[in-house]
């Protein structure tokens, strides 16, 4: 469980210095909600922002050097903001549940003397229990792979050197790997483990209908992968775990997909699972391979929203691609409803669609603009003049955006 209340990114491509939500280092903003839509003209950094989340995920699953090279990032020199001599830096302000104290994670990636990217600095901080203000204690602090960490759920070191709890000296053997990955693998560093589990559960969705049409070998998968190519495997998993619940989910989803009257899981003799889509007016069902891009996409999104033990943070890029515009408002409403208000799921969506944005409120929409130097800045739609007033008077966000009141 958990969500991010804010994020700051520095020197990551066009994101030379952006801030969204509330941070430890800057408490002026509103905390991010469970639904965050990011809009803005092409080239303003929406995909770069999605990729920043993907980059952090890749740093966890591999190492920072591999992450710089992965996903067409082209290596550190291409990735770092042009004309910047500063390292890549992330700050994540995280809260596990309503009653917990926020945790700040800072990560700095720079180049070593051989020009290889490495983890220059990593720090986790949290305030003492019962204290609302003041400086938090560091419970992990590594510079060039050397520093300290605190076991358990309390303790840490203040900036003046005061120590609460049991401080352990740490030295990493590989400075391309994140300290939170090494230490989070050990039970005794329970706070680090919990934060790492949160980061590990992030999911970036780049769903492509063609991938979903591929015939997969039988293997139940708990979660959809980035492209959605394991759609049937996820269906197989959900069916195996709880057939009656899965049928209920399908019954619910089929009401959301136009012209589909029924979706049924069919088990083939080899154990593979296929989905039959019954379409209005036809006597025979269609298999997923024959379904339209839009139907498959909608189906995958709704399946994603019904995941059991959902991923904590889901980032979807441009869900509108291949979808009829009238379906988008409903999709946005369902997404909003699904993430709710608690700490179970947070959804980030980039979009160009006013129809999607129409379902949202000024606090849920962020605009990426460009500053005079060509770098991105993030601004909450609520911060534009008149937007909140016009919404209070009954206007819709997408209409205001389309009419250029903001964005």
Ligand X SMILES: Nc1ncnc2c1ncn2[C@@H]1O[C@H](COP(=O)(O)OP(=O)(O)O)[C@@H](O)[C@H]1O
Q: Which of residues 249-308 bind Mg ion (CB under 5 A)?
A: none
- The span from the CA of 106 to the CA of 27, in Å, is 16
Q: Which x/- pattern over 91-110 shows residues binding ligand X (rule: CB under 6 A)?
A: --------------------
Judged by CB, which is closer to Mg ion: 302, or 366? 366
Q: Which of residues 191-250 bind ligand X (CB under 6 A)?
A: none
Stretch that binds Mg ion, among 47-55, 80-88, 145-153, 267-275 (CB under 5 A): 47-55
Which does residue 43 touch among ligand X, Mg ion, none (CB within 5 to 8 A, set by kind)? ligand X
Which does residue 81 touch among Mg ion, ligand X, none (CB within 5 to 8 A, set by kind)? ligand X
- The span from the CA of 304 to the CA of 301, in Å, is 5
Choose among 62, 60, 116, 118: nearest CA to 92.
Answer: 60
Judged by CB, which is closer to ligand X: 47, or 126? 47
- The span from the CA of 247 to the CA of 224, in Å, is 18
Judged by CB, which is closer to ligand X: 66, or 78? 78
Between helix 231-241 and helix 293-305 the angle, nearest 10°, is: 40
Residue from 11, 44, 47, 81 that binds Mg ion (CB under 5 A)?
47
Residue from 25, 43, 259, 342 that binds ligand X (CB under 6 A)?
43
Judged by CB, which is closer to Mg ion: 2, or 13? 13
Q: Which of residues 13-42 bind ligand X (CB under 6 A)?
A: 13-14, 40, 42
From residue 239, how far is each of 248, 268, 284 by CA, in Å?
Answer: 11, 13, 22
Judged by CB, which is closer to ligand X: 44, or 157? 44
When asked if residue 338 is in the footprint of ligand X (CB under 6 A), the reply is no
Which does residue 182 touch among ligand X, Mg ion, none (CB within 5 to 8 A, set by kind)? none
Residue from 47, 288, 295, 338 that binds ligand X (CB under 6 A)?
47
From residue 235, how far is each of 201, 211, 230, 277, 300 by CA, in Å?
Answer: 20, 15, 9, 13, 10
Judged by CB, which is closer to ligand X: 45, or 398? 45
Q: Which x/- pattern over 53-92 shows residues binding ligand X (rule: CB under 6 A)?
A: -------------------------x-xxx----------
The C-alpha angle with vertex 206 and arms to 229 and 259, in degrees rounded to 5, equals 70
User: Could you tell me the smallest distance in angstroms from the CB atom of residue 338 to ligand X?
Assistant: 24
What's the sign of the alpha-carbon dihedral 143, 147, 150, 156? negative
Judged by CB, which is closer to ligand X: 76, or 94? 76
Q: Which x/- pattern over 309-348 shows residues binding Mg ion (rule: CB under 5 A)?
A: ----------------------------------------
Residue closest to Mg ion (Cβ): 47
- The span from the CA of 28 to the CA of 6, in Å, is 11
Stretch that binds Mg ion, among 41-49, 111-119, 204-212, 271-279 (CB under 5 A): 41-49
Q: Is the distance from CB of 231 to CB of 342 less than 8 angstroms? A: no
User: Could you tell me the smallest distance in angstroms from the CB atom of residue 276 to ligand X?
Assistant: 36
Judged by CB, which is closer to Mg ion: 377, or 382? 377
Give the binding site for ligand X (CB under 6 A): 13-14, 40, 42-48, 78, 80-82
Contacts with Mg ion, residue ranges (CB under 5 A): 46-47
């Amino acid at each position: 469980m958990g969500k991010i209340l804010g994020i700051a990114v520095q020197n990551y491509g066009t994101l030379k210095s952006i801030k969204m939500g509330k941070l430890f280092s800057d408490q002026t903003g509103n905390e991010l909600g469970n639904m965050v839509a990011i809009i803005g003209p092409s080239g303003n950094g929406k995909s770069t922002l999605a990729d920043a989340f993907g980059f952090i995920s890749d740093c966890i699953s591999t190492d920072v050097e591999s992450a710089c090279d992965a996903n067409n990032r082209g290596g550190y020199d291409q990735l770092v903001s042009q004309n910047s001599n500063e390292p890549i830096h992330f700050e994540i302000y995280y809260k596990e549940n309503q009653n917990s104290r926020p945790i700040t994670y800072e990560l700095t990636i720079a180049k070593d003397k051989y020009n290889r990217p490495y983890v220059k600095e990593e720090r986790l901080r949290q305030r003492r229990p019962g204290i609302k203000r003041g400086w938090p204690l560091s419970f992990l602090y590594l510079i060039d792979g050397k520093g300290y960490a605190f076991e358990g759920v309390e303790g840490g070191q203040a900036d003046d050197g005061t120590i609460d709890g049991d401080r352990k000296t740490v030295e990493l053997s590989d400075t391309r790997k994140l300290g939170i990955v090494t230490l989070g693998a050990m039970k005794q560093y329970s706070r680090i483990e919990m934060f790492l589990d949160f980061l590990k559960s992030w999911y970036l969705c780049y769903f492509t209908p063609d991938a979903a049409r591929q015939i997969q070998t039988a293997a139940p998968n708990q979660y959809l992968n980035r492209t959605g190519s394991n759609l049937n495997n996820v269906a197989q998993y959900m069916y195996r775990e709880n057939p009656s619940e899965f049928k209920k989910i399908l019954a619910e989803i089929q009401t959301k997909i136009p012209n589909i009257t029924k979706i049924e899981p069919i088990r083939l003799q080899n154990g593979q699972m296929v989905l039959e889509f019954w379409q209005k007016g036809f006597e025979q069902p269609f298999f997923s391979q024959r379904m339209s891009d839009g139907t498959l996409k909608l189906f995958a999104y709704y399946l994603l929203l019904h995941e059991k033990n959902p991923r904590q943070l889901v980032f979807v890029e441009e869900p509108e691609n291949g979808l009829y515009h009238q379906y988008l408002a409903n999709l946005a409403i369902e997404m909003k409803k699904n993430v709710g208000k608690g700490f179970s799921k947070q959804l980030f969506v980039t979009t160009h669609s006013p129809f999607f944005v129409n379902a949202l409120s000024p606090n849920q929409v962020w605009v990426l603009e460009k500053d005079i130097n060509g770098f991105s800045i993030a601004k909450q739609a609520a911060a534009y003049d008149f937007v909140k007033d016009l919404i209070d008077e009954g206007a819709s966000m997408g209409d205001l955006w389309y009419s250029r009141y903001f964005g």
